[in-house]
Amino acid sequence: MQPDPWQQWQAFSALFTPAAPAGSARNGASSFAPFADLTERFNAAARTYLNGAANGSMPAVAAAARGFSESLRELFGDMPWNLGAGSADGGASPLSALQSPALGATRESQLRAQRITDAWRRVDEAQRRLQRLAADALREAAVAFAAKLAAASPPAPSTEALHKLYGAWIDCAEDAYARAAHGEAFCSALAEYVNASSAWRNELQASIEHSAKLLDLPARSEINSLTQRLRAVESELRGLREARRANAKTPEPKAAKPKRARRKAKR
Amino acid sequence: MTPAASFAALAAANTSTTGCSERQVVWQSGKVKLYRYRPTARPAASAPLLIVYALVNRPYMMDLQEDRSLIRGLLSEGLDVYLIDWGYPDGADRFTTLADYIDEHLAGCVEQVLQAHRLSDLNMLGVCQGGVLSLCFSALYPQRVKNLITMVTPVDFHSPADLLSKWARHIDVAAFVGAGNVSGDVLNQLFLSLMPFRLTQQKYVDLVAEPPDRAGLENFMRVEQWIFDSPDQAGAAFREFVTWFYQENRLAQNRLEIAGRKVDLHSLRVPILNLIGKRDHLVPPAASLALRGLVGSKDYTALEFDLGHIGMYISARAQHEVPASIAKWLASR
């Protein structure tokens, strides 16, 4: 008798989630926990689909397929673009008070703080734009997956069938993602995210460097300056060595023949 | 294997060693090391083969384990194999440029090999980004290269399927690099984002769903280690590489200069073997195949394998086909 495919698939994944509470692997301590969790949640969605499609009528199969693909869209919705964005309130920052005019003795500090806040807001907006495009791609994937499921009879539950369903979903997701990722909108959104992140990091670095100088701690710009000087010295040294080697290889001019010269002198 | 045994095997494989062929350091300059592998068969080629690996990953992928080692295959074909290990750049290397890599480190390794063998030229095998460096070197020092092999090497960085290039084109590289190095971890995220569902989800779920045997688990962990063992990139060289190659496509447009000298691929006359992975998602075939129309060499051969980028080094099929193809091609020249 074939073992229960749901249990079989879950048995191995359970090993990777030692700290998980019963019935969920979500809080597992292992680095493998997210994948075991994903497996478990995929199992649940697939089981619902197969049970729903079991009666074989076309409307029931199609409805189960749609439900399955929608649950997968949600399941994958926060991956892999869960980049740790800020609040979900559309970009209102708790630091908005810092947007007041910079005045007084701390004016420069206020401006630095404002620049960092502005840069972070730009990162946050760029990330939201990227996530919207990713969500669109997942929606496309869900539609394609539902169509694929509806076009064939639901498989009998088995580990192999589950694995194939999972593979089919990944194919749909990658296809939809690839279409989006090659598009101008995604390329531009990704570039904006990277550029905004670079700007934020550079502002942060500048601020930290300023504080380091106040405390007379060595700052990165000083170390960079010293590194550049060292490179220049090394380059000069290399040039001198090469010149010396080249000189050593150059044959010396033939020496005059002293005896003959002397003889000529005597004459 | 029971689930418990699979788990134990996976945990034990965490500390797997990499590199399986006997070798020794024959030259070192800063963090760069030149290795020579101990020959295992009767010599078959007149000149040694220098492998120039990419800067963005570690070169032990060339010699991952006994049954998955391009280097082992080359040795068994009678080739005298050298390999450059670029090391792990740190903060002191942030101003290292492509010219430094090519004119000092790569040229230094070549001189060392040539002196040791009392030869005037050698065979060079450039892998991925290392292939780009090899092309630049061969164009700048044509008298030093006897035969050139490029493997999964991008040449036309603006081919339609090149997703990395499309992403890179709008990025402000100078701001991204700043005055520092580029984190290998950040680059890894970028590479994983090319196929996020397969690379960050499916392969782990597959492992959970259908755990392989002990050897398979160990192999999985070695590849996993290699993927995430990503050196930081020297900032200046990275900025130049992304700007000149990915954004401006200078190599394919014949307007690349390294330290003020033109890298003219048209002037390249050495025999060239170009090895391409048909399913390569990092370097699409078209990006490599463009080489033919850009070089002056009359002796040009392209071999396409039905493999992906990593599969070109470590797949079972590659072990049978790639080293033998290289050895056969070299033997006839």
The residue in chain B having the minimum alpha-carbon distance to the alpha carbon of residue A18 is: B7
Specify if B33 maps to a domain: yes
Residue B243 has what DSSP assignment?
Answer: I
Q: Which helix (H) or strand (E) holds B5?
A: helix B3-12
Rounded Cα distance, A228 and B41, in Å = 47
In angstroms, the separation between the Cα of residue B140 and the nearest Cα of chain A is 19
Q: Is the pLDDT of residue B124 over 90?
A: yes
Of A11, A35, A198, the CB nearest to B172: A198
In angstroms, the separation between the Cα of residue A168 and the nearest Cα of chain B is 11
3-state secondary structure at position B232: coil
- CA-to-CA dists, residue B331 to B39, B47, B71, B78, angstroms: 17, 10, 17, 10
Count of alpha carbons within 13 angstroms of residue B291, beta-carbon side: 33
Higher-confidence residue of B187 and B18: namely B187
CA gyration radius, chain B: 19
Give the angle subtended at the CA of A96 by the CAs of A95 and A102, to the nearest 5°: 100
Best A8, A9, A39 member to test B by mutation, with max B CBs in 10 Å, is: A39
Contact B167 A191 (CB under 8 A): yes
Contact A191 B202 (CB under 8 A): no
Of B6, B91, B210, the CB nearest to A163: B210
β-pairing, B23-29 vs B32-37, is antiparallel
Count of alpha carbons within 13 angstroms of residue A176, beta-carbon side: 21
User: Where in the sequence is the domain holding B109, given as residue range(s)?
Assistant: 18-170+232-331
Output the domain CATH number for residue B166: 3.40.50.1820
Angle between helices A58-75 and A107-150 (to 10 degrees): 160
Closest by Cα among B85, B19, B93, B29 to B55? B85
Specify if B39 maps to a domain: yes
Specify if B130 maps to a domain: yes
CB-based burial of residue B52 (10 Å sphere; 0-12 exposed, 13-18 middle, 19+ buried)? buried
Interface of B with A in 2-31 (CB under 8 A): 3-4, 6-7
Q: Going by C-beta distance under 8 Å and a sequence separation of 6 or more, which residues neighbour residue A148? A: A168, A172
The residue in chain B having the minimum alpha-carbon distance to the alpha carbon of residue A159 is: B209
Backbone angles phi, psi at B125, to 5 degrees: -120, 110
Compute how many other C-beta atoms are within 10 angstroms of the C-beta atom of residue A170.
22
Rounded Cα distance, A98 and B209, in Å = 52
Higher-confidence residue of A152 and A195: namely A195
pLDDT digits (tens, 9 = 90+) for B29-81: 989 999 999 999 988 877 999 999 999 999 999 999 989 999 999 999 999 99
Q: Is the pLDDT of residue A81 over 80?
A: no
Compute how many other C-beta atoms are within 10 angstroms of the C-beta atom of residue A149.
24
Contact B208 A16 (CB under 8 A): yes
Of B3, B95, B197, the CB nearest to A174: B197
The stretch B226-248 carries a mean pLDDT of 96
**Are the beta carbons of B63 and B72 closer than 8 angstroms?**
yes
Q: Is the pLDDT of residue A96 over 80?
A: no
Compute how many other C-beta atoms are within 10 angstroms of the C-beta atom of residue A60.
14
**Residue where the block lists tokens 């701390």:** A106
Farthest-apart Cα atoms in chain A, separation: 129
The stretch A123-151 carries a mean pLDDT of 91
Specify if B29 maps to a domain: yes
In angstroms, the separation between the Cα of residue A266 and the nearest Cα of chain B is 51
pLDDT of residue A59: 78
Contact A187 B172 (CB under 8 A): no
Rounded Cα distance, A2 and B278, in Å = 40
Q: Is the pLDDT of residue B230 over 90?
A: yes
Specify if B53 maps to a domain: yes
Among A112-126, A134-148, A151-165, B245-259, which is the least confidently predicted range?
A151-165
pLDDT of residue A9: 60
Interface of B with A in 94-123 (CB under 8 A): 94-95
Rounded Cα distance, B57 and B130, in Å = 10
**Are the beta carbons of B135 and B126 closer than 8 angstroms?**
yes
Contact A227 B211 (CB under 8 A): no
The residue in chain B having the minimum alpha-carbon distance to the alpha carbon of residue A8 is: B209
Q: Kindly list the residues from chain A whose CB atom is less than 8 angstroms away from the CB atom of residue B93.
A: none
| B192 at A interface, C-beta within 8 A | yes
Q: Going by C-beta distance under 8 Å and a sequence separation of 6 or more, which residues neighbour residue A169? A: A42, A69, A72, A141, A145
Higher-confidence residue of A6 and A40: namely A40
pLDDT digits (tens, 9 = 90+) for A14-46: 665 544 444 443 443 456 666 667 777 787 888
CB pairs below 8 Å between A and B: how many? 112
The stretch B152-163 carries a mean pLDDT of 97
The stretch A112-131 carries a mean pLDDT of 93
Contact B95 A227 (CB under 8 A): yes
pLDDT of residue A28: 38
Q: How many domains are contained in chain B?
A: 1
Contact A173 B197 (CB under 8 A): yes
Specify if B219 maps to a domain: no
Q: Is the pLDDT of residue B164 over 90?
A: yes
Contact B171 A194 (CB under 8 A): yes
Q: Going by C-beta distance under 8 Å and a sequence separation of 6 or more, which residues neighbour residue B276? A: B152, B285, B288, B289, B302, B303, B304, B305
Query: Would you please indicate which residues of B are annotated as catalytic (active-site) residues?
Result: 128
Q: Which two tokens stand for residue B211?
A: 């755990």
**Are the beta carbons of A24 and A17 closer than 8 angstroms?**
no
Contact B208 A220 (CB under 8 A): no
Specify if B149 maps to a domain: yes
Specify if B218 maps to a domain: no
Higher-confidence residue of B283 and A267: namely B283
**Are the beta carbons of B140 and B261 closer than 8 angstroms?**
yes
